Amino acid sequence: MKKLVQPRFLKGYFVVSLNAYHFYYLLQIQVGNSPVYKVERKLGKGGFGQVYVGRRVSGGSGRTGPDAIEVALKLEHRNSKGCNYGPPYEWQVYNTLNGCYGVPWVHHKGIQGDFYVLVMDMLGPSLWDVWNSLGQSMSPNMVACVAVESISILEKLHLKGFVHGDVKPENFLLGRPGSADEKKLYLIDLGLASRWKDARSGQHVDYDQRPDVFRGTIRYASVHAHLGRTGSRRDDLESLAYTLVFLLKGRLPWQGYQGDNKSFLVCKKKMATSPELMCCFCPAPFKQFLEAVSNMKFDEEPNYAKLISFFESLIEPCTPLQPIRIDGALKIGQKRGRILINLEEDEQPKKKVRIGNAATQWISIYNAHRPMKQRYHYNVADLRLSQHVSKGNEDGLFISCVASAANLWALIMDAGTGFSSQVYELSTVFLHKDWIMEQWEKNYYITSVAGANNGSSLVVMSK
């Protein structure tokens, strides 16, 4: 049994130390001009941060929106991996996507104590939860509703220039039970989202491949993600195809692999499993959808309307009998209560679809090279300088330039300096001559230098 030490109370929260581990429990949260929320039960843990119920201490009305009595509080510690250089990357994505169809609203965000905090709409169960509650299987009608609404949500996300990067049942949530949106579908957890469209040029990002880098969830990731290829719109749709088959059949052919090479074995199985084999005993639209998305090119624009139309025949035409709202799909066009898509089939180029097991497989031979990277720090106090430099050195970076203003330091660290070793000294005197001469004897040479208003200096010497 590990021994608990006395809790330490800090402004609004206390910290319980458990030997080397720390568990943080915030009693109340207020960020920016948000209401004050009392932190209650934990809702779950995503790839980035943990989510809790927040209940307004006073005021509030309704079940959703900025005035809701209960909200979801997503907390991420400032020392977590995704927060080394400031707020979580997910914040940048929400700044662009807030209000996007199918993405939950972020009402407030800010810092309290050691945590970055997002205040979001409270939602209901995930598709994973619903699947479990239904005996680990969903009806074709329900999965078809999930399909058309998910495609519509992804289309709106893609129009904003992003791909989600981690499409799976756990990341699709229904609206809050008892609310007007309890049948509405939402896509959450944008921590792995990335741009398929360059924000400046408006062009598709360049293709690249890093087989030593994997992003996503092994079970649902696209084959391209396993192979380290740059994410694009096709990958979200391929992951959605695996999600739909899982919800319908309750299992995917590559489940059960264990060990260090699990990702490799799953990728190999995915590549060897044809749409016909994977979708056997499924209604025809599932095979059609998987064939279409698994044969897309890297920069191909999906025909979302056509993909939605595959599932039309499976959806119950009576709206009250639809277990999930399909507002996004119906906005494309509606006729007599059914989805209407103008496919113009005769004008569509015919694509050759590869089905069945390939006779041969290609192999990528890859030599990993350290990517060109650059990092900068500014307004760095004397005491924090070593922390930033040590972290950069761990990542293969060396100091290439230093400067000072108002007795604070700025430094640029670069992977392309060509240096093999580096030392530096922060001295209370300007250019500590004895230390510099000692380093010269060790074949180090001055590569950067800066002085502060108080007379101190930072000298960097490199080999």
- Indicate the pTM of the whole model: 0.70
* The predicted structure's pLDDT at residue 9: 34
Lowest mean pLDDT among 144-153, 273-282, 368-377, 380-389: 368-377
Determine which one of 114, 121, 166, 235 is catalytic. Answer: 166
* The predicted structure's pLDDT at residue 337: 45
For residue range 79-111, list pLDDT tens digits in order: 888 788 889 999 999 999 988 999 999 999 999
- pLDDT band (50, 70, 90) for residue 341: very low
Task: Establish whether 166 is a catalytic residue.
Answer: yes
For residue range 103-156, list pLDDT tens digits in order: 999 999 999 999 999 999 999 999 999 999 999 999 999 999 999 999 999 999
For residue range 287-336, list pLDDT tens digits in order: 999 999 999 999 999 999 999 999 999 998 888 878 999 987 766 544 43
What ranges do the domains of the chain cover? 28-120, 125-333, 374-462
Q: Check the annotation: does 74 bind a ligand.
A: yes
Phi, psi of 401 (to 5 degrees): -160, 145
- Compute the distance between CA of residue 75 and CA of residue 93 in angstroms, rounded to an integer: 16
Q: Which CATH architecture has domain 28-120?
A: 2-Layer Sandwich (3.30)
What count of other Cβ atoms lies within 10 Å of the Cβ of residue 97? 21
CATH number for region 125-333:
1.10.510.10
* The predicted structure's pLDDT at residue 5: 37
CB 191 within 8 A of CB 82: yes
Which tokens is 415 given?
């992977």
Q: Is it the case that residue 393 has pLDDT exceeding 60?
A: yes
Greater confidence (17 vs 260) lies with: 260
- Compute the distance between CA of residue 425 and CA of residue 408 in angstroms, rounded to an integer: 15
